[in-house]
Amino acid sequence: MSETLRALAFLTGSLLRRLAREGMVVRSLVFPTALVIGTLMATLAVMAAIRTPQTVAVIPTDPVAEAAEEAGFVVVRTEDPQLALDRGAVWASIVDEKITATSDDLGLQQLEALVREARGSAWRPASNPQRPSNVESQPLALRIARLLAVLFTLYGVVFGAGMVARDRGDGTLESELALPVPRWTHATARFIAGSLGLAVFFAGGVALVDAMLDIEAPLIILGHGAAAAAGATAIGIASAGRSTIKSGFSTTLAVSMSAVSVLGSMGLSSEATHFLPIASLSATGSPVVPLLVSLVLGAACSAWFGRAQS
């Protein structure tokens, strides 16, 4: 057994070296960075494009007009603010103590404060100066980190199936299978190398998103993402079967992707499935069980691979 474990360690080390030299490091760091920056830029662009200009119709003699202008609102002075609102010319209208707006934007609270101040009201709404700066960015960070986890899950399928199919196609796997170690060792080495590599670089991606946007519970996201990537790697290895990249790889990918999609859908439709890797991507609880299940899945897929070789 110790000989097999030694061989497993050597094979895993060799595979990790190959993955590193094939540019996995660069890709794994570039993609998350590009994803974060791209998502932020796209979000800002979309918000700018769909943002309704906060135009307010006010009676010309109303003192709130000047205060609203100073606060950054576009003020339209008109004798009939309600008519301007009804025609869709403005976002909000102010008549005496009545504010009418077409949407419940953040500016509404500010406008109410201005009106109350202008009318000498005893109280007015105010935003909390102690509000943590990350309150708005955390949901976005969570979404990006989960998107990253989905990306690494897909990586897992491609890595797992690709490592087997490519090595079978160029004869590397056949040479290795002739070594005096059990066949499951070769699948296990690929499972460990793929999962470890993906987990390390997913951690890098999560750390990056956390540094930029502040994820609320980064370790939980990391755990579920690593479990999903490992589970997907195992599925990729098992579904590679006897295929090679040259002889046609689309069926392998289709089978793997379908299995991953099924697990993902199960996770979205029922929390009871959150003990499974990939299904747990949307979970908020501890990732220990999905991580353990992904290891069991890796062992089962290695055994299946060993049996399928002859």
Give contact residues for other proteins (rule: CB under 8 A): 3, 6-7, 10-11, 14, 17-18, 21-22, 167, 170-182, 309-310
Q: What's the alpha-carbon Rg for the chain, to the nearest Å?
A: 28
Rounded CA-CA distance 129/93 in Å is 28
In the complex, minimum distance from the CB of residue 22 to other proteins, in angstroms, rounded to a whole number: 6
Q: Residue 216 corresponds to which tokens in the numbers above? A: 């609320």
Q: What angle is formed at CA 215 by the lines to CA 228 and CA 149, rounded to 5 degrees?
A: 20
Nearer to other proteins, 38 or 171 (CB): 171
Q: Give me the least distance between CB of 141 and other proteins, in Å please.
A: 35
Q: How far is the CB of 309 from other proteins (least distance, A)?
A: 7
**Pick 285 or 306: Cβ nearer other proteins:** 306
d(CA 238, CA 306): 10
**Which one, 182 or 204, has the nearer CB to other proteins?**
182
Of 9 and 219, which has the nearer Cβ to other proteins? Answer: 9
Cβ–Cβ < 8 Å for 92, 56: yes
28 vs 93 by CB, closer to other proteins: 28
Nearer to other proteins, 10 or 275 (CB): 10
Strand partners, 94: 58, 99
Task: Enumerate the β-bridge partners of residue 100.
Answer: 93
Residue 178 CB, shortest distance to other proteins, in Å, is 4
CB of 151 to other proteins, least distance (A): 24
Name the nearest CA neighbour of 75 among 51, 86, 87, 63. Answer: 63
In the block, tokens 């800002």 appear at 44
**How many CA atoms does the CB half-sphere of 100 hold within 13 Å?**
14
- Close Cβ partners of 89 (under 8 Å, ≥ 6 residues apart): 55, 57, 76
CB of 7 to other proteins, least distance (A): 5
The residues with which 101 forms a beta bridge, in sequence order, are: 92
CB-nearer residue toward other proteins: 122 or 178: 178
Residue/partner pairs of 281-285 with CB below 8 Å, 24 or more apart: 281/146, 281/149, 281/150, 281/153, 281/224, 281/225, 281/228, 282/146, 283/224, 284/217, 284/220, 285/220
Q: Compute the least distance from the CB of residue 157 to other proteins, in Å.
A: 21
Instruction: For the CB of residue 174, give the shortest distance to other proteins in the complex, in Å.
Output: 5
Q: H/E element holding 92?
A: strand 92-95
The tokens of 195 are what?
Answer: 């999962």
> Which of 138, 172 has the CB closer to other proteins?
172
